[in-house]
Amino acid sequence: MAHRINEIVLDCADPQSLAAFYLALVDGRPRQSRPDWATIWADPIIIGFQQVPEPKTMKNRCHLDFDCEDLEQAASRAERLGAARLRFVDDPPGAFIVMADPEGNEFCFVAGYPDEPER
């Protein structure tokens, strides 16, 4: 039996603040909120934010990639929302910019890659 992904959850110190950042970043819709948990609808997925007591100490084991047409425009907008730009990577046939959200979780803006995975 195949399973579908229900939601993607990010561990964080402040679920409401991080949810607000991603809500603005993806132009999503709020879904749930309580002191230790928040979710947003980022069509077509749900992103959850779960409060954890320990701070982030190393590189993420998993991160989000966001498609965009203009890497510079996307990165500049994210910076205005509170993200930090970490590095640009030229990776033909595309490229990506690695960013960090306000709690330091890495995510990427990607452009120039085919929509379909190679088989």
Residues 115 and 80 in one domain: yes
Distance, in Å, from the CA atom of 40 to the CA atom of 22, rounded to the nearest integer, reads: 8
The kind and range of the H/E element at 77 are: helix 71-81
Residues 45 and 61 in one domain: no
Residues 42 and 90 in one domain: no
- In the chain, the number of structural domains is 2
Residues 25 and 72 in one domain: no
Residues 99 and 113 in one domain: yes
Residues 37 and 62 in one domain: no
The per-residue pLDDT for 78 is 98
CB atoms inside a 10 Å sphere around CB 119: 3
| Helix/strand/coil percent split, the chain, to 5 | 20, 40, 40
Give the pLDDT band of residue 117 (cuts 50, 70, 90): low
Residues 50 and 62 in one domain: no
Domain limits at 73? 57-119
Residues 28 and 61 in one domain: no
Residues 108 and 64 in one domain: yes
Residues 115 and 77 in one domain: yes
pLDDT digits (tens, 9 = 90+) for 17-73: 999 999 999 999 999 899 999 999 998 899 999 999 888 788 777 899 999 999 999
* CATH number for 109: 3.10.180.10
State the pTM of this model.
0.89
Residues 43 and 94 in one domain: no
What's the token pair of residue 82?
Answer: 């509170």
DSSP code of residue 92: T
Query: 37-42 and 106-111: which strand pairing?
Result: unpaired
